[in-house]
Chains A and B, each alone.
Chain A
Amino acid sequence: MTPETPITAAGPVMPAAEPPRTRLAATIDRIAPTRDERLFLVLSIFIGVISGLLVVAFRIAIEWIQILSLGSAPHAGQLRLLFVPAIAGLVVAPLVIWFFPAARGSGVNQTKAALYVYDGYISIRTVIGKFLTAALAIGGGHSLGPEDPSLQIGAGVASIIARNLHLSRRRLRMFAPIGAAAGLAAAFNAPISAILFVIEEVIGSWSAAVLGSLVLSAISSVVVMRWFMGTEPMFRIPSITLRDPREFMAYAVLGVIGGLLAPLFSLILGFLRPRLRAMPRWSQYLQPAVAGLMVGAIGYFGFPQVMGAGYDVIDQALHGQFVWQLLLALVFLKMLATTVSFSSGTPGGMFAPTLFIGAMLGGAVGAFEKHFFPHLTGTVGAYSLVGMGVLFAGFLRAPLTSVFMVLEVSGNYSIILPVILANTLAFLLSRSLQPVGIFETFTHQDGLDLPSMEEQREESVLHIEDACQPVSVPVMRGADMLQTVSEIVAEAHVTAFLVRLPDGSLYAMTAAELTSAAATLAPETPIQRALKPDRLPQLFPDMPLDSTLHYFPRWPLLPISNRASRGTLEGILTLDDVLARYRNAD
Chain B
Amino acid sequence: MTTLHAGSVLTPEERVARRNLILRDALSLLTLFLFTVVIFALTLLLYRSFENHRVELGQRWKVRGEQALRAGRPKEAIDALRSALAYVPNTETEIELATALADAGRTTEATAYFNTLRESTPGDGMINLQLAQLAARQGNETQAVLDYQAALDGTWQGNGYDRRREIRLELANYLLSRHKDSDARLQLLIAAGNAPDDATIKIEIAGQMERANDQQNALGIYRSLAARRSAPLAAVEGAGRTAFALGEYRIAADYLAHTVANIAFATLPENEKGADREMLDTANHILQLFPSINERPALRAQRILSAKNTAHRRITTCTGSGHAMPPPLPALVARWEQLPSRLTVSQLEQDPDLEQTLLQLVYDTETATAQACGAPTADDASLLRIAHNPIAVEQP
Q: How far is the CA of A63 from the CA of B8 in the complex (A)?
A: 55
Residues of chain B in range 55-87 having any CB-CB distance to chain A below 8 Å: 57, 60-61, 79-80, 82-83, 86-87
B83 contact from A49, A50, A72, A319, Cβ within 8 A: A72
Asked whether B25 lies within 8 Å of A39 as measured between CB atoms, the reply is yes
Give the chain B neighbours of A321 by CB distance below 8 A.
101, 106, 109, 112-113
A546 at the interface (CB under 8 A from B): no
B1 contact from A42, A67, A379, A381, Cβ within 8 A: A42
B5 contact from A32, A43, A56, A239, Cβ within 8 A: A32
Asked whether B57 lies within 8 Å of A72 as measured between CB atoms, the reply is yes
Q: How far is the CA of A332 from the CA of B373 in the complex (A)?
A: 73
A28 at the interface (CB under 8 A from B): yes
B161 at the interface (CB under 8 A from A): no
B194 at the interface (CB under 8 A from A): no
- Given A27-B17, A31-B21, A38-B3, verify A53-B40 contact (CB < 8 Å): yes
- Given A31-B17, A72-B83, A164-B28, verify A228-B116 contact (CB < 8 Å): no
A438 at the interface (CB under 8 A from B): no
Instruction: Looking at the assembled complex, report how far the CB atom of B123 sits from the nearest CB atom of chain A, in whole angstroms.
Output: 15
B121 at the interface (CB under 8 A from A): no
- Given A31-B10, A34-B3, verify A46-B39 contact (CB < 8 Å): no
Give the chain B neighbours of A238 by CB distance below 8 A.
112-113, 115-116, 119
B79 contact from A30, A31, A73, Cβ within 8 A: A73
Interface stretch of the complex, out of B41-49, B225-233, B237-245, B309-317: B41-49
Asked whether B83 lies within 8 Å of A228 as measured between CB atoms, the reply is no
Residue of A nearest to B101 (CB): A321
Asked whether B112 lies within 8 Å of A379 as measured between CB atoms, the reply is yes
Asked whether A239 lies within 8 Å of B116 as measured between CB atoms, the reply is yes
A54 at the interface (CB under 8 A from B): yes
Give the chain B neighbours of A64 by CB distance below 8 A.
50, 53
Give the chain A neighbours of B32 by CB distance below 8 A.
43, 46, 161
Give the chain A neighbours of B101 by CB distance below 8 A.
321
B29 at the interface (CB under 8 A from A): yes
Instruction: Looking at the assembled complex, report how far the CB atom of A73 sits from the nearest CB atom of chain B, in whole angstroms.
Output: 4
Residues of chain A in range 10-62 having any CB-CB distance to chain B below 8 Å: 27-28, 30-35, 37-39, 42-43, 46, 49-50, 53-54, 56-57, 60
A75 at the interface (CB under 8 A from B): yes
B18 at the interface (CB under 8 A from A): yes
Instruction: Looking at the assembled complex, report how far the CB atom of B111 sits from the nearest CB atom of chain A, in whole angstroms.
Output: 8
Asked whether B36 lies within 8 Å of A46 as measured between CB atoms, the reply is yes
Give the chain B neighbours of A174 by CB distance below 8 A.
none
B 210-240 to A, binary, CB cutoff 8 A, 1 in contact else 0: 0000000000000000000000000000000
Give the chain B neighbours of A169 by CB distance below 8 A.
none
Residue of A34, A46, A238, A380 contacting most chain B CB atoms (<10 Å): A238
- Given A72-B61, A319-B112, A321-B109, verify A34-B5 contact (CB < 8 Å): yes
Q: How far is the CA of A42 from the CA of B25 in the complex (A)?
A: 12
Instruction: Looking at the assembled complex, report how far the CB atom of B260 sits from the nearest CB atom of chain A, in whole angstroms.
Output: 56
Give the chain B neighbours of A33 by CB distance below 8 A.
5
Give the chain B neighbours of A43 by CB distance below 8 A.
32
Give the chain A neighbours of B106 by CB distance below 8 A.
321
Interface of chain B: mostly helix, strand, loop or mixed: helix
B353 at the interface (CB under 8 A from A): no
Residues of chain A in range 433-467 having any CB-CB distance to chain B below 8 Å: none
B261 at the interface (CB under 8 A from A): no
Give the chain B neighbours of A161 by CB distance below 8 A.
32
Give the chain A neighbours of B112 by CB distance below 8 A.
238, 319-321, 379-381
A50 contact from B1, B36, B79, B87, Cβ within 8 A: B36
Instruction: Looking at the assembled complex, report how far the CB atom of B276 sits from the nearest CB atom of chain A, in whole angstroms.
Output: 50
Interface of chain A: mostly helix, strand, loop or mixed: helix
Q: How far is the CA of A73 from the CA of B79 in the complex (A)?
A: 8
The interface size of chain B toward A, counting residues with CB under 8 Å, comes to 49
B 1-26 to A, binary, CB cutoff 8 A, 1 in contact else 0: 11111001010001101100100010
A312 at the interface (CB under 8 A from B): yes
Q: How far is the CA of A31 from the CA of B19 in the complex (A)?
A: 10
- Given A35-B1, A60-B50, verify A316-B82 contact (CB < 8 Å): yes
Asked whether A53 lies within 8 Å of B116 as measured between CB atoms, the reply is no
A 152-182 to B, binary, CB cutoff 8 A, 1 in contact else 0: 0000000001001100000000000000000
A226 at the interface (CB under 8 A from B): no
A236 at the interface (CB under 8 A from B): yes
- Given A49-B36, A50-B36, A239-B116, verify A30-B14 contact (CB < 8 Å): yes
B 278-294 to A, binary, CB cutoff 8 A, 1 in contact else 0: 00000000000000000
Residue of B nearest to A31 (CB): B18
B108 at the interface (CB under 8 A from A): yes
Asked whether B113 lies within 8 Å of A319 as measured between CB atoms, the reply is yes
B25 contact from A35, A49, A67, A239, Cβ within 8 A: A35
Asked whether B43 lies within 8 Å of A57 as measured between CB atoms, the reply is yes
Residues of chain A in range 528-584 having any CB-CB distance to chain B below 8 Å: none
Asked whether B109 lies within 8 Å of A57 as measured between CB atoms, the reply is no
Q: How far is the CA of A238 from the CA of B131 in the complex (A)?
A: 14
Residue of B nearest to A34 (CB): B3
Asked whether B39 lies within 8 Å of A54 as measured between CB atoms, the reply is yes
Q: How far is the CA of A384 from the CA of B218 in the complex (A)?
A: 52
Give the chain A neighbours of B8 by CB distance below 8 A.
31
Give the chain B neighbours of A34 by CB distance below 8 A.
3, 5
Give the chain A neighbours of B40 by CB distance below 8 A.
49, 53
Q: How far is the CA of A228 from the CA of B41 in the complex (A)?
A: 12
Give the chain A neighbours of B87 by CB distance below 8 A.
72
Give the chain A neighbours of B109 by CB distance below 8 A.
319-321
Asked whether B4 lies within 8 Å of A32 as measured between CB atoms, the reply is yes
Give the chain B neighbours of A380 by CB distance below 8 A.
108, 112
Chain A contact residues, CB within 8 Å of chain B = 27-28, 30-35, 37-39, 42-43, 46, 49-50, 53-54, 56-57, 60, 63-64, 67, 72-73, 75, 161, 164-165, 228, 232, 236-239, 312, 316, 319-321, 379-381
Question: Can you give 29 A-B contacts (C-beta < 8 A)?
Answer: A28-B21, A31-B14, A31-B17, A32-B21, A33-B5, A35-B25, A38-B1, A49-B36, A50-B39, A53-B39, A53-B40, A53-B43, A54-B43, A56-B43, A56-B47, A67-B53, A67-B57, A72-B60, A73-B80, A73-B83, A75-B79, A165-B28, A232-B89, A238-B115, A239-B116, A239-B118, A320-B108, A379-B112, A379-B115
Chain B contact residues, CB within 8 Å of chain A = 1-5, 8, 10, 14-15, 17-18, 21, 25, 28-29, 32-33, 35-36, 39-40, 42-44, 46-47, 50, 53-54, 57, 60-61, 79-80, 82-83, 86-87, 89, 101, 106, 108-109, 112-113, 115-116, 118-119
Ordered nearest first, which 6 A-B pairs have the shortest CB separation? A73-B83, A238-B116, A320-B112, A31-B18, A34-B3, A53-B43
Q: Given contact pairs A63-B50, A73-B83, A236-B89, enumerate 12 new A-B contacts (beta carbons under 8 Å).
A: A31-B5, A35-B1, A46-B29, A50-B39, A56-B43, A60-B46, A72-B57, A161-B32, A228-B47, A239-B119, A379-B112, A379-B115
